Structure 1
Amino acid sequence: MATSPDLTHLSSFGRTPVRLRLVEDAAPGELAGVWWPQSRDLQTEAADLVDHFPGSAGRVERLLFSRPDWDASATAEGGGVRSIVAARGRVKVGSFPHDDTHLMIVTVGGGRRLKLHVIPSAITPAEGEELLRGAYGVDATSTGAADGERRTDEIS
């Protein structure tokens, strides 16, 4: 699943581009990437992820989230939100009541599921950048990989 850096998509209201790194060749069930949302607002961040998810990775059809990563509105009594509204339309979301895995499971076309580790939005910019850079041992400034290294691509 090759993705390429794309810094042209800026979110509205002064937001920075989506901060996402994907592993090109993640096997089913393996961690497929890391995502650093800008806030704990599920609607805003999930819509940003959907709207700027690399097309080469697939069209986002559904999201499953870990409740501790988001504000109470996403985890309210009765199951919380069931969908978010992205620029391309409504996308179903769900969660498990006691899930504390800090994952966002992105289901793309064909039912393929990509596990993204969610970096806490409240950490310092230096810590977040370090976590993005350190993901899978690949330098965040490079979209290539050294011999024998697992290749990732970044959108930051």
Structure 2
Amino acid sequence: MTTSSTVLSTATRSPEQLRLRLPDTESSGQADGAWWPRSRDLQLEAADLVDHYPSEGGRISRLLYSRPDWDGPPAGTEGIHKIRAARGWVKAGSFPSDDTHLMVLTMSSGRRLKLLVIPHDTPAAEGQKRLTAAGQGAAGDGGAVDVARWDNESPGD
């Protein structure tokens, strides 16, 4: 019996380990919160986000990601189109030349959230500082990025 090298693991971490902050009030910044993944493995980290996203926030039905934040297919090739989470497959897309460092979540309700992606190797104190700022509604105040195109959702996969 042989095993396929294309089978992806659905193992994710516990909900307590998800490093995610959403503001207590409506965000006025360019992002609606922040997410601090533990690696550059999009499949593993996005599955963890999907599986452990707070239930009161809804269910994630689609992800749009910024390619430079993740290891994956080489530049000039198609990005990842699906994430295999424990609850099932979730559509994914990206803009090939995007460098906004955002993960845009489309919820099953249709609501869209923009999460600032904190690099996985950010020192602990700085990462916690950025997460705290996101919880206070300041996640997107760190610089000007063109996020308007994300609202049109025309990724060039």
Q: What pairs with 1:2-151 in structure 2 (closer than 5 Å)?
A: 11=13, 17-26=17-26, 30-71=30-71, 73-74=72-73, 76-135=75-134, 137=136
| Contact in 2 for aligned 1:35/1:117 (Cα 8 Å) | yes
Matched to 1:83, the amino acid is K
Shift of 1:114: 0.3
Report if aligned partners of 1:67, 1:74 keep a CA contact under 8 Å in 2.
no
Question: How far 1:77 moved relative to its partner?
Answer: 3.7
Superimposed CA distance per residue, residues 22-72 of structure 1 (whole angstroms, 9 cap, x where no aligned partner): 12433699521100000000000000000000111110000000111001x
**Which amino acid is the alignment partner of residue 37 of structure 1?**
P
TM-score, structure 1 normalization: 0.72
The count of corresponding residues between Structure 1 and Structure 2 is 126
Between the aligned residues of both structures, percent identity stands at: 55
SS in 2 for 1:23: coil
Residues 83-118 of structure 1 deviation map (CA, whole Å, 9 limit, x = unaligned) = 010000000100001110000000001221100000
Moved over 6 A (4+): none
TM-score by length of 2: 0.71
Contact 1:42 1:74 (C-alpha < 8 Å) held by counterparts: no
Q: Which residues of structure 2 form unaligned runs of 5+?
A: 1-11, 138-157
Counterpart CA distance in 2 for 1:116 and 1:69 is 12
Tell me, yes or no, if the aligned pair for 2:23 and 2:136 is still in contact at 8 Å.
no
**Cα RMSD for the two superposed structures:** 2.4
CA distance in 2, matches of 1:17, 1:115: 20
